[in-house]
Amino acid sequence: MKFLHVLICLSVGYASTKKEQLIIDFLEARYSGDTLLVKSMLADDFIYEHTPYSGLNITTSYSDGSLTITGFVSEDSVSNKLQVGDKIHEINGETIPNVQLPVKGPSGEVIQLVITKSGDSTFTTDSLELQLIQYSQNTESFLQDIIVYEQQWYDFHLEILNILSRKDQIMIHYHWEGSKTEKGAVYHFYAMELIQRDNNTGLIKSIEGVWSEKQFRDQFK
């Protein structure tokens, strides 16, 4: 059985508006896996812009001491140099088992790679620049992630730290923590999100993750 605890911690004397309470209800439904309610609150052209980060713009899987490229976060020039199935054996002179992942650094920093192309055993060297990447999701992808995420957790606690609204925009700051098993280890994160609503229908048009101090500090080695 999954348990949900919601705590609203706002300044003394503060009362959330109806619009703000709807956003809190949306968050509760989102993390408890209620995709029917979530979908009913989204506009047809909804988009979720994840928190941006500095990275190599590739997705990989680890096997036998190398990273196999499985895809690209967004379409750009990286896909002209690398393809799905290529393997990365070294990053900046270090073999993959000795590399601290994910690769950190400021946007624009050049990263040296030793790779083998898909279907080829010849080692070649190449370089890529770290990029500022922001992954986007439409309604279908967003709802699918909600289902997968909800299935991973036994219970969770959602704490609303602050919520501010102005016209059709809401900024919400919250703390999530949960465990995968009863009395298991507790995992947690803090998030700030800018939510845009349609002023006529009240439906959510977009959610954008806001860059936090952690994302900034992650650029430093």
Report the pLDDT averaged over residues 11-23: 69
- Please give the backbone phi and psi of residue 118, each rounded to the nearest 5 degrees, phi first: -55, 125
- Asked if the model's pLDDT at residue 179 lies above 70, the reply is yes
Q: What is the largest CA-CA distance in the chain?
A: 68
CA dihedral 75, 81, 85, 89 (to 10 degrees): -120
CA dihedral 94, 96, 100, 105 (to 10 degrees): 70
Instruction: State residue 129's pLDDT score.
Output: 87
What is the per-residue pLDDT across 36-76, written as a single tens digit (0 to 9) for each?
999 999 999 999 998 888 888 888 999 899 999 998 877 66
pTM: 0.71
Residue-range domains of the chain with CATH: 3-52+135-217 (3.10.450.50), 53-133 (2.30.42.10)
- Asked if the model's pLDDT at residue 8 lies above 50, the reply is no
Report the pLDDT averaged over residues 160-172: 91
Report the pLDDT averaged over residues 147-168: 90
Q: Is the Cβ–Cβ distance between 69 and 83 less than 8 Å?
A: yes
